[in-house]
Structures are given as C-alpha cells and as structure tokens.
Structure 1
Amino acid sequence: MKNMNPRLRGSLEISVASVGFGFLGIFGTWAFESGMKVGELLSYRFALAAVLLWIFLLLFRPSWVKLNLRQTIIAALLGIFGYAFFSTMYFIAIDGLSVTLAALLLYTYPFWVNVFSHFFTQDKISRKEALCLVAASSGLILLLWGHIEVRNIWAVAAGLGSAISYAIYVLLSGRLQKDVRPISSALYVITFGALALSLFHHPHYSEIKNLSHIQASSILGLAFVCTIIPLTLELAALQKLKSTEVALLMMIEPITAALMGALIFHERLTPVQIVGALIIGAALVTNTLYSRPTKSVE
C-alpha cells in the first residue's frame, strides 16, 4: 500500500473512514434503546477509545506516543473544540429535532468546508467541484428526506453549529497536522475529547460494571469501529487530499448508514432514497477521478 499513488491511497482511507462513521447510528440506536443517555454514551465511547489506543501504542509502538508541545496543544484543542464540541452539538440537535433534520443540518459541513476553504485559504473552488458539491447535496436531501420536526428552535442552531464546528475541525486538521503521524494525533485528539466530554457530561464511570451486554458491545463498537479506525484514517487522508475533497468523500457515511439501516433494522429504502444514494455516488466518483492534484507529504 505504501507504493500506491498517494491520492488513491488517501481516497481509500477516507472512504473506509466514512464507512466506519456510518455505523454510528447502528451502535447508537442499540445503546439508546437499551436505556443509555447521550452524555454517558459519548463519554464512554471516547474514554474507551482513548484507553484502547494508549494500551496498543504503549505495548507495540511506544515511540509513537511522543508529540512535541506544539502538536500536543493542537491535538488537545482539536479534541476539545473539534470532536467534543461537535458531538455534543449534534446530539443536542437530535434531542430537539427529528433525526432526519439533524442529519441534514450536520451534512451541510462539506458546504462550509468549501466556503471556508475558498475564502480563507488558497484552495479555490473550481466550477466542477462546485457542481459535484451541489449534486451530492441534492442526492443527500433525497436520501435523508423524511419526517421533519422541530421541537426546540435552538436545536436548529445546534445542528448548524455541529456542521460548522466539524468543518473547522477538518480544515484545521488538514493544515496543522500535515507532518504528524495520524495515529499519534488521533491518540491525543481522542484523549482530550474524552476529558472534555467527561467534564461536561459528568458520567458515572463507577456504573460501567453494571452495563448490559448490548450496552457494552455498543460502546466497544463505537470506540473501535466508529472512533479509533475512522478518526485515524481521516487524519491520514487529510495529509494526501485537499480538505474539500475529504469533506465531499465523507458523504459516503450517510449512504453507509442508510444501507446498514436497511440490512440490520430492515428499514425500507424508497426509490427516491435509492436515487439520492446513486446521485451522491456519481458525484463522489466524478470529483475523485477529475480533481486537481494536490501536494502530498509523502
């Protein structure tokens, strides 16, 4: 894989990461149906991911734990104001909106990545990239369109806040961590995210021993499949592709979520949803095949 074209490798990394993130809804649904609260689930997810990653690296790659002070501070800020803030905003949105509307608001983040990148960086959006983004966004609306409900108007702001904060996280990660080993960065992003979530939500870690089998399995799945693997691969992809490309390719996540919902929860995909998924897929393939090359750190 090291001899693979960096752009192709980055595209594969973010595609696999997006599939991993797509399982969030599966494990989250099982956990919520078993009676877990949002705060404790988020805290347990990141705390377990941090513990597993620390154990693995200390046992097999202890030298990878070391980061200089500047990169440690950057990773800490990304973990606190990136993942911890984004996750909390998103689940506040879910609490006050229908899941469909919360998801639609969250997935405006590729739009925000492109806007911020165009105005605040040297990566200007080409006409082709803009058309792909519009096509993918249209497909997303078709894929996720369903029950729209607003129970708390402030939850709409939280939904947009989750999208904007995640867009900023993607942009800053792509620019500030180009020379950092992805798994080392992920270690500190996840660790500081776990600390921030624990301070904000005050989970009772002493109750972990009382978790049911389904709750423990859901947390393990969230920690490994939806956090360690995708977060590390996302950071790796950001070293090879433009932030705008990564943001667009991450729209594989809602396709994965819809397909897994159909396979596991037997949710019926309507013809409109299938058309939406195909439109997203076509836009992603077109953008990946014909994107302008970018510099790689390799």
Structure 2
Amino acid sequence: MTRRGVSATLVSAAAFGLMPVLASYAYGTGMSVPTLLALRFTIAAAVFLAWLGARGRLERPTARQWAVLALLGGVMYAAQSLLYFTAVERIAPALAVLLLYLYPALVSVVSAVVERSRPGLAVLGPILVSLAGLALVVGPPGADLDLLGVLAAVGSAVTYALYIVVGTRVSAALSPAVTTGYLSMFAAGSFVLLGSAAGALDLGFATAGWGWVTAVAVLSTVLAMSLFFVGSAALGPVRASLLSMFEPLVAVVATWLLLGGTLSWPQLAGGAAVLAGAAWGVLAAPAPGRQPRGGLRETFIAAPPPDASARRRAAPR
C-alpha cells in the first residue's frame, strides 16, 4: 500500500465522516432535507462537470447509458440519500453512519438471492454479525430511540445494497468521475422535482446555511469522492474499502466533539459488530466479472476493475 493511497483514502473517509455533522449544522439554519439534498447535488454536479469540461474529459453517454444513469441517480440513489439524510436529521449522526454500514453484508445476501445461489458462511456470517450489532445499537423494545430515524437509516442501507447490485449488472463504460457528475445531476433533478411538488424547497434558511451546504457538497462529496478515486487506484478497491471504515470513527468522534452527542457502550459495541460484519463482507467478496469501479457512498457504473469493489460507495452519498 502506498503512502499516497493510504493518505488519500483516510482523508476521503474523514470527509465522508464529517458529512452528517455538517448536515446537522445545515438543519440548524432552518434548511429542510429536500432543500439540502437538492443544493448539495446541484453544486456537486456543477463542480464535477465543469472540471471535466475544462479538462476535455466530459464523455457523452449513449441513450442506454443515459437511461441507466437516470435510474441509478434519479431514482435509486436519490431514495437512498433521502433516507440517510432523514436519519441524520432524526437520530445521532454517528448512529446513522453505523447503521448505514449494514449495507456490505446486505449486498452479499441480495447478490445470493439474485443469482439464486445457496448462501454459505461467506454470505450468512457477515449478515448475522451485522444483525447482532444492529440489535445492540437499537437496544431493547421501548428504548428511548427515534424508531422512524432508525428505520430510515436501515432503509438507506437496504436501498444502497440494492443500488450496488443493480449497478453491477447494468455497468456503463464511463469513467468514475464522469459517472459521478451525471449521477449527481440526475439526483439534483429528482430532489428539485420532489421538493417542488411537495412544497418542501425553501431558500429562506439563515445565511450560514449556504456555507454548510457548500461544505457538504464540496468537502464531503466532490473532495471525498475524488480522493477515494486516488486511494482506490493506488491500493485496490477492497483495501481502500477497508481503510474507508475510518469514516464511522470520524463520525462518532466529530459528533461527540462538535455536537455533544454520545453513544452508550452497548451501542458502541453494536457499532463495532456492524463494522466487523462489513469488513467480513468485503474480505469474503468474490471477484465477479463485472464490478463497479471506486467502491461509499457512494458503486460507480464504469468499466470493471481487477477485484471486488461493490462493497463501497457508488455515487456520492
């Protein structure tokens, strides 16, 4: 593992880990979830596509690729983002991140179902460990925890797993950066339409909100994704994915330092079990013929890499 690759991956994970904290600050200015997501993806798409255009690397998708990008970015990834950011709004950001990390184990299960294969220890082991961790994180019935927020976080993990499995089967030969730009564009369009239809788009939030949403878009989306490209290229997607599990640690510490939030010892133990299941899922993953490049949050629909990267994020989370 090169020092450059390790550094890039860890900084990427830290930037992703700060995202729920930055979103919490944005909510504090009166910004709604649809407004935050519409602005986040609009800014991210503009930065990605402008940068690619300036470098002459803006590829033109085929009609089929446009359809795939619209499905993945405008429908599936938009749904995952909406669930995740709703969870961040309702429960501790660190808890939302830990619950999102159910997705590597879920990918194994969904893949086994889609491929109609008999699940073995490599499939059942990670999901059982992650579910045990989930039980510790949520606690006993009647615990003082926002059930809707927990369900939104788990739903985001399920949706993300489905998104990854679908993405691996409809890969389009576009570079990761180009794919991310177009996925962001379609996600932005979905949130503008959704927010307008529901009357949820409101730019009347405090002026400081513009700084927080820009930080989410630039720091925790564009910079985080770009550095993950660098890390994945240098280390390989599986090793980069394992290093990216630094993200929940950053989220827990940042929540404690900046928001004053804490998790109980059973919740921390449960989070460790969830991450152990995620690591097992990554390490046990076979290397199928077509896998999305770049891994959070996160599965780029691109030319297949040399090993299994589907356990990491696809579009910006």
- 2:168 is the counterpart of 1:174: yes
Change (3 A) 1:140 1:263: farther
The number of equivalent residue pairs is 281
Report what 1:62 is aligned to.
56
Report what 2:41 is aligned to.
46
More helix by share: 1
- 2:125 is the counterpart of 1:131: yes
User: What secondary structure, in the 3-state scheme, does the structure 1 residue paired with 2:261 have?
Assistant: coil
* Higher RCO (CA < 8 A, seq sep 6+): 1
Report what 1:267 is aligned to.
261
Report what 2:213 is aligned to.
219
Q: Which of these residues, 17, 30, 35, is aligned with residue 35 of structure 1?
A: 30
1:69 Cα offset (Å): 2.6
**Amino acid across the alignment from 2:305:** V
Instruction: Map residues 115-264 of structure 1 onto 2, 5 A cutoff.
Output: 115-121=109-115, 125-142=119-136, 147-150=144-147, 161-177=155-171, 179-202=173-196, 207=203, 212=207, 214-230=208-224, 253-264=247-258
Indicate if the aligned counterparts of 2:20 and 2:85 stay in contact, CA closer than 8 A: no
Indicate if the aligned counterparts of 1:135 and 1:279 stay in contact, CA closer than 8 A: yes
1:176 Cα offset (Å): 2.5
Q: Which of these residues, 19, 32, 44, is aligned with residue 24 of structure 1?
A: 19
- 2:73 is the counterpart of 1:79: yes
Report what 2:314 is aligned to.
none
Indicate if the aligned counterparts of 1:19 and 1:252 stay in contact, CA closer than 8 A: yes
Q: What root-mean-square deviation, in Å, do the aligned CA atoms of Structure 1 and Structure 2 show?
A: 4.3
**Amino acid across the alignment from 2:51:** F
1:191 Cα offset (Å): 0.4
Change (3 A) 1:204 1:224: same
Indicate if the aligned counterparts of 1:26 and 1:261 stay in contact, CA closer than 8 A: yes
CA distance in 2, matches of 1:121, 1:235: 29
- Unmatched tracts of structure 2, length 5 or more: 290-303, 307-317
User: What secondary structure, in the 3-state scheme, does the structure 1 residue paired with 2:126 have?
Assistant: helix
1:294 Cα offset (Å): 5.0
CA distance in 1, matches of 2:214, 2:18: 12
State the Cα deviation string for residues 119-151 of structure 1 (Å, max 9, x = none): 11388754145323432443455456573234x
Change (3 A) 1:38 1:287: closer
Indicate if the aligned counterparts of 1:66 and 1:184 stay in contact, CA closer than 8 A: no
Indicate if the aligned counterparts of 2:31 and 2:203 stay in contact, CA closer than 8 A: no
1:53 Cα offset (Å): 1.2
**Amino acid across the alignment from 1:262:** W
- Could you tell me the TM-score, scaled by structure 2's length? 0.68
1:57 Cα offset (Å): 1.2
- Unmatched tracts of structure 1, length 5 or more: none
State the Cα deviation string for residues 82-134 of structure 1 (Å, max 9, x = none): 22122234455667x65588767655434432221001138875414532343
